[in-house]
Structure 1
Amino acid sequence: MKAVKQTLLCTLVAASLSSTAVLAQEQKSQTPAMPAAPEQAAPQMDVSDQQVDNFADAYVAVQTLSQQYGAKLQQTQDAEKSQQLQQQAQDEMQSAITDTGLSLNEYKQIARAANESETLRQRITVAVNELIQADAPEESES
């Protein structure tokens, strides 16, 4: 069972790191157009252990909010209510990121760098695993 959780977690982390680009794209579409050239190539980035931990905290919070709002959105038939929920979700996700001490830009940069660097991706996966295991000690006892 633990191996299944680990495999699932690693899959979720990899998928979510990819989906972070979608969040970044959604946020980008709401900001004024910027030149695309600087964002085309993700520069090599030195990410400190503290930044990895902050990113992992933000990542877990964003994923939790995404699941919560995803369920709410599936139950909503009203387009206006759906749009309100999407805006609320985006606002809460942005707050969850900035509450960790990262700016939205730093979060996006780390996500892009993780997509380019297996080493960084592994560091983030370890940090996320540690968070999830710390939050679920009761589950391992049952």
Structure 2
Amino acid sequence: MSLRLLYSALFAASVAVAPAAWAQVQEPAPPAQEYPAPAQEAPPVSDMPSDSASSANISDQQIEQFADAYIAVQGIQEKAANDLQTATEPAQADQVKAKAESDMIAAVEKSGLKVDEFNHIVETMTANADVRERVAAKLQERQGGG
């Protein structure tokens, strides 16, 4: 499993979930800026069911686990971003990045999901409004909205 895929998946999750999860709590995001316009169709992922089947295959428990992992990973990303700003040498920055990657993987696995399951949920929710709404609702609940 590529660590870059985890980063990519987390970025996609942030883009897909953030406007839906926090739009009601904060100022509404300007229309047309909530989601970037797709430049191209995403390539099909082998062995993955269709959108509606993907939604049905993602259990409430997996959504709960995903929400826990997502919140933990965001905290790790924020800390790493702050640490990178104070890094004075490339080796120090590399060390911060390596620790963040390791911590993110550990956070996902601690939630009860495997990294590939986490990434699958991210991929599904970027293409499936039902899954995106389920995740956004769970995140809002976790962060004091419910």
Scaled by the length of structure 2, the TM-score of the pair is 0.65
- 1:89 corresponds, among 75, 87, 100, to 100
Runs (4+) of structure 1 exceeding 6 A deviation are 8-11
**Larger fraction in helix:** 1
Name the SS of the counterpart of 1:39 in structure 2: coil
Name the SS of the counterpart of 2:45 in structure 1: helix
- Offset, 1:10: 8.8
Write the distance in 1 (CA, Å) between the matches of 2:90 and 2:69: 29
Give me the identity figure in percent: 25
The C-alpha deviation readout for 1:53-88, integer Å capped at 9, x for no partner, is 000000000001100110000111210000011000
Write the distance in 2 (CA, Å) between the matches of 1:64 and 1:120: 23
The C-alpha deviation readout for 1:110-141, integer Å capped at 9, x for no partner, is 1000001011001000101111107xx9xxxx
The C-alpha deviation readout for 1:14-47, integer Å capped at 9, x for no partner, is 88xxxxxxxxxxxxxxxxxxxxx76379533110
Residues 4 and 119 (structure 1), Cα distance of their counterparts in 2 relative to 1, 3 Å cut: closer
- Offset, 1:8: 6.4
RMSD between aligned residues:
3.0
Contact kept in structure 2, 1:10 and 1:125, CA below 8 Å: no
Contact kept in structure 2, 1:43 and 1:113, CA below 8 Å: no
Residues 115 and 58 (structure 1), Cα distance of their counterparts in 2 relative to 1, 3 Å cut: same
Alignment partner, residue 61 of structure 2: 50
Alignment partner, residue 70 of structure 1: 81
Contact kept in structure 2, 1:42 and 1:116, CA below 8 Å: no
Question: Which runs of 5 or more structure 1 residues have no equivalent in the other structure?
Answer: 16-36, 138-142
